């Protein structure tokens, strides 16, 4: 018991969050559950569930250079469901806001009139994005950057266009994306700053 009292407040703070408590309660059954199922049981979005889980999961040490490279690749650019995430996704969202293409709002982004023209110039069918049967441009909090990238119909259209232009390529395994030399140049032209 010695030394445990100094950790008790930290543990209490972690489980005091209602969504974390609900997920921990679900996991006490002993059955492994996917993040989506934990999110459903906690009554939160999957992105929020992943953030909550990251706060309570033990950090894993990198034991191989390959694992480190894969983690770094995921942080740089990856698909998050059907949209761009990681530094590239957050950088693209920041650039689109800075250029007045998107206006941040409650839980998402709005395409500005000027932005609709600019997105059209980039090859996106803005009419199809706006007519989609899903949120147009939702803010999805990025787990690696802790800031939003663009999800929803616009996020999917942006990733599709980046893949079509071969600015990014899917890797054979997992969700990490490779930014091509043309992609580095193209994204820089859009104002996306990557390390």
Threshold 0.85, pTM exceeds: no
C-alpha–C-alpha distance, residues 182 and 195, integer Å: 16
Give the pLDDT confidence score for residue 33 in this predicted structure: 77
Q: Tokens 């694992």 sit at which residue?
A: 67
Give the pLDDT confidence score for residue 1 in this predicted structure: 47
Give tens-digit pLDDT for 48-84. Answer: 777 777 777 766 655 554 544 557 888 999 999 999 9
Higher pLDDT: 31 or 64? It is 31
- Integer angstrom CA distances of residue 190 from 37, 45, 194: 37, 30, 12
C-alpha–C-alpha distance, residues 195 and 145, integer Å: 13
Q: How many CA atoms lie within 13 A of 14 on its CB side?
A: 15
Give the pLDDT confidence score for residue 27 in this predicted structure: 84
Give tens-digit pLDDT for 134-150. Answer: 999 999 998 888 899 99
């Amino acid at each position: 018991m010695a030394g445990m009292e100094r950790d008790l407040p930290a543990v209490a703070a972690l489980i005091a969050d209602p969504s974390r408590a609900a997920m921990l309660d679900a996991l006490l059954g002993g059955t492994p559950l996917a993040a989506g199922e934990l999110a459903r049981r906690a009554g939160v979005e999957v992105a929020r569930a992943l953030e909550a889980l990251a706060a309570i999961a033990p950090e894993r040490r990198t034991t191989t250079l390959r694992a480190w490279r894969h983690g770094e690749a995921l942080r740089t650019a990856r698909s998050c469901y059907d949209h761009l995430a990681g530094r590239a996704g957050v950088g693209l969202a920041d650039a689109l806001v800075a250029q007045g293409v998107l206006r941040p709002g409650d839980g998402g982004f709005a395409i500005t009139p000027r932005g609709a023209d600019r997105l059209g110039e980039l090859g996106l069918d803005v009419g199809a994005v706006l007519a989609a049967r899903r949120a147009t441009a939702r803010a999805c909090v990025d787990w690696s950057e802790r800031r939003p990238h663009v999800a929803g119909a616009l996020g999917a259209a942006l990733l599709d266009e980046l893949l079509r232009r071969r600015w990014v390529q899917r890797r054979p395994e997992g969700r990490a994306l490779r930014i091509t030399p043309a992609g580095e140049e193209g994204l820089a032209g859009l104002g996306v700053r990557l390390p």
